[in-house]
Amino acid sequence: MAAIDHEIAAISGAVSALPDAGARPAQDAPAAQGRGQGDERATGRTASESQAGSRATAGLRIEDVVVTYPAARTGRGSAGTVTAVNHVDLTVAPGEVMALLGPSGCGKSSLLRAVAGLEPVAGGRVLWDGADVGSVPVHLRGFGLMFQDGQLFAHRNVAGNVEYGLRMHGMPKASRRARVAELLDVVGLPGSESRSVATMSGGERQRVALARALAPQPQLLLLDEPLSALDRALRERLAGDLRAALVATGTTALFVTHDHDEAFTVADRVAVMSGGRLLQVDEPSRLWAAPASREVAEFLGYQAFIPADGGWLAIGPQGLIASAGAGAGAGAGGNATSASGTASAGWTATGAGPGAAAFSGVVVSAAFRRGYTEVVVDADLGDGIQRCAAVAHGAALWSPGTQVTLTVAATAPVFVPATPDHPRPLSPAPTR
Ligand SMILES: Nc1ncnc2c1ncn2[C@@H]1O[C@H](COP(=O)(O)OP(=O)(O)OP(=O)(O)O)[C@@H](O)[C@H]1O
């Protein structure tokens, strides 16, 4: 119950600065990381973060954090603990927007809640501007929170919701009005002060919730899947608007999502999580261009993998084209199981290009996507049968059981190294 009170106080903007923030001597602080800087291939502590060690770092520093729950509460056993966050290190620089991206149950929300102080840490530390906030109560951390459902006060109008935290801080009425108007502009709801939130759409309510969270100028805004309750089109539009609002207000933010497109749209850098661990942290374009492992690549949306020396060439969405007949390089039999080995001819780790190889496959299903038909195909790209998606050229290919040739589309694949979690036991595919 106490935690809920704190949560409501925090999301309402009833936050104040850390007592000791800013008291630290300036020379303790290393230069703040700029937007998008840093390259943290995170399986454990990153090189840059190891160098920082325990020196004070401006902004948020998550240091070796562990979050556990009693196993009985998960229903997976009657004793012991479940580790939801497993020794995570992460730095969010002032003004930076960081996305925590990972599948359901990977520990994103637990980490966010640990930063907020809503969940105790079983190990490690959370620091703001170099000060350990472990003993600072939720409502005194100076962090704002925004959740999936916005949690607006239904009996207050838009202005009443947005100004709630400002009122708690004792801001004079005229200043409050000006700040509310400014924020409603930022979130795309200018002039809506007197509207009842009960009459608003889900998207509009989330905009109000964002304005309310931003109003007290939190030193860190924590967003837990703020768009996931909305439909896809609205989510895509609001993701862009959310990014714009965070940038316009210079807000430092940690944003939880399971949607890679959303993470890429909103964040300066994306931290990919799985099984309680951080797998990789990088800018969206660099993450996409160089996934550190097959697990990261699969989670980002790479959907087919061609064996190459020391790893795979990963093929992205719409990266395979299906056309009629068996693949030329995939064996005369043309069925999916005959393609092993020879199917990869023409591919090298560094010199891959479109159209260099063809693979045989068998159509499993077909579905119309936005602007094209996609067939799901079982094909051997050199590592055994994989189920992959391809853009279908021609309606004749849509029936299950149809034999097709797969070629790589104009978008070049990227190289993904084998890792201990995902070794490539097969011999490397032949190269030309
Ligand atoms: N209050 C709790 N008590 C017990 N176990 C919990 C609790 N909260 C989370 N867990 C467990 O901890 C793990 C991580 O959960 P968490 O909610 O952090 O993941 P998530 O990545 O945010 O998932 P989702 O995207 O589905 O919200 C899961 O196995 C979950 O079952």
Sheet with 143-146: list strands edge to edge: 143-146, 220-224, 253-257, 97-101, 269-274, 277-282
Q: What integer best gives the mean pLDDT of the chain?
A: 79
What residues are in contact with ligand 1 under a 6 Å CB criterion? Answer: 69, 73-74, 82, 84, 102, 104-110, 258
The model's confidence at residue 73, banded by pLDDT at 50, 70 and 90, is low
341: region left, alpha or beta (phi > 0 left; psi from -120 to 50 alpha) = left
Average pLDDT over residues 372-392: 91
Tell me how far the alpha carbon of residue 196 lies from the centroid of ligand 1, in angstroms.
34
Q: Is the pLDDT of residue 351 over 80?
A: no
The model's confidence at residue 181, banded by pLDDT at 50, 70 and 90, is very high
User: Taking a C-beta distance cutoff of 8 angstroms, is the pair 341, 327 a contact?
Assistant: no
pLDDT in tens, 133-150: 999 999 899 999 998 876
Average pLDDT over residues 180-205: 92
Question: For residue 206, what are its two tokens?
Answer: 């989330």
pTM of the model: 0.78
**What pLDDT, on the 0 to 100 scale, is given for residue 94?**
97
Tell me how far the alpha carbon of residue 116 lies from the centroid of ligand 1, in angstroms.
15
Mutate to test the pocket of ligand 1, among 7, 68, 74 (most ligand atoms within 8 A of CB): 74
Residues 6+ apart with CB under 8 A from 80: 70, 71
| Domain 60-67+81-289, second-level architecture | 3-Layer(aba) Sandwich (3.40)
Which atom of ligand 1 is nearest the CA belonging to 256?
22
Q: Is the pLDDT of residue 332 over 70?
A: no
* Domain extents in the chain: 60-67+81-289, 301-326+357-417
Q: Is the pLDDT of residue 420 over 90?
A: no
Look at the alpha carbons of 298, 92, 135, 152 in this order and tell me if their dihedral is positive or negative: negative
The secondary structure of 80-109 as a DSSP string is: SEEEEEEEEEEEE-TT-EEEEE--TTSSHH
Tell me how far the alpha carbon of residue 410 lies from the centroid of ligand 1, in angstroms.
40
**What pLDDT, on the 0 to 100 scale, is given for residue 89?**
97
Percent of the chain residues past pLDDT 90, beyond the cut? 54
CATH placement of domain 301-326+357-417: 2.40.50.140
What is d(CA 42, CA 166) in angstroms, rounded to the nearest whole number?
Answer: 39
Look at the alpha carbons of 329, 331, 335, 341 in this order and tell me if their dihedral is positive or negative: negative
Question: For residue 60, what are its two tokens?
Answer: 């948020």
The model's confidence at residue 72, banded by pLDDT at 50, 70 and 90, is low
Look at the alpha carbons of 24, 29, 35, 39 in this order and tell me if their dihedral is positive or negative: negative
User: Taking a C-beta distance cutoff of 8 angstroms, is the pair 334, 402 a contact?
Assistant: no
Residue with tokens 């799901």: 376
pLDDT in tens, 271-289: 999 999 999 999 999 999 9
**What pLDDT, on the 0 to 100 scale, is given for residue 327?**
52
User: Taking a C-beta distance cutoff of 8 angstroms, is the pair 374, 391 a contact?
Assistant: yes
Query: Lowest-confidence range among 127-131, 192-196, 241-245?
Result: 241-245
What is d(CA 379, CA 361) in angstroms, rounded to the nearest whole number?
Answer: 4
More confident: 18 or 257: 257
Residues 6+ apart with CB under 8 A from 296: 272, 279, 280, 287, 416
Using CA positions, which residue lies closest to atom 28 of ligand 1?
Answer: 105
The secondary structure of 214-250 as a DSSP string is: HTT--SEEEEESTTTTS-HHHHHHHHHHHHHHHHHTT
Q: Which helix (H) or strand (E) holds 369?
A: strand 358-369
User: Taking a C-beta distance cutoff of 8 angstroms, is the pair 96, 33 a contact?
Assistant: yes
Task: Name the DSSP class of 188.
Answer: T
**What pLDDT, on the 0 to 100 scale, is given for residue 326?**
64
Using CA positions, which residue lies closest to atom 20 of ligand 1?
Answer: 105
Average pLDDT over residues 348-370: 70
What is d(CA 344, CA 90) in angstroms, rounded to the nearest whole number?
Answer: 38
Tell me how far the alpha carbon of residue 83 lies from the centroid of ligand 1, in angstroms.
10
More confident: 29 or 48: 48
Tell me how far the alpha carbon of residue 59 lies from the centroid of ligand 1, in angstroms.
26
Question: For residue 24, what are its two tokens?
Answer: 């630290």
pLDDT in tens, 35-61: 333 334 343 333 334 334 445 689 999
3-state secondary structure at position 191: coil
User: Taking a C-beta distance cutoff of 8 angstroms, is the pair 124, 87 a contact?
Assistant: yes
Instruction: Please report, for residues 96, 185, 257, 263, 371, the alpha-carbon distance to residue 249 in angstroms, rounded to integers and kept in the order given.
Output: 11, 12, 21, 19, 37
Sheet with 414-417: list strands edge to edge: 304-308, 311-315, 414-417
User: Taking a C-beta distance cutoff of 8 angstroms, is the pair 241, 187 a contact?
Assistant: yes
More confident: 117 or 40: 117
Tell me how far the alpha carbon of residue 105 lies from the centroid of ligand 1, in angstroms.
5
HSE toward the beta carbon, residue 13, CA cutoff 13 A: 27
Instruction: Report helix angle 202-214 to 173-186, nearest 10.
Output: 130
3-state secondary structure at position 205: helix
3-state secondary structure at position 172: coil
Average pLDDT over residues 102-128: 95
Using CA positions, which residue lies closest to atom 25 of ligand 1?
Answer: 104
Residue with tokens 């325990």: 54
Query: Lowest-confidence range among 119-123, 148-152, 363-367?
Result: 148-152
pLDDT in tens, 226-242: 888 788 888 888 899 89
**What pLDDT, on the 0 to 100 scale, is given for residue 23?**
28
Residue 273, strand partner residues:
278
Tell me how far the alpha carbon of residue 144 lies from the centroid of ligand 1, in angstroms.
21
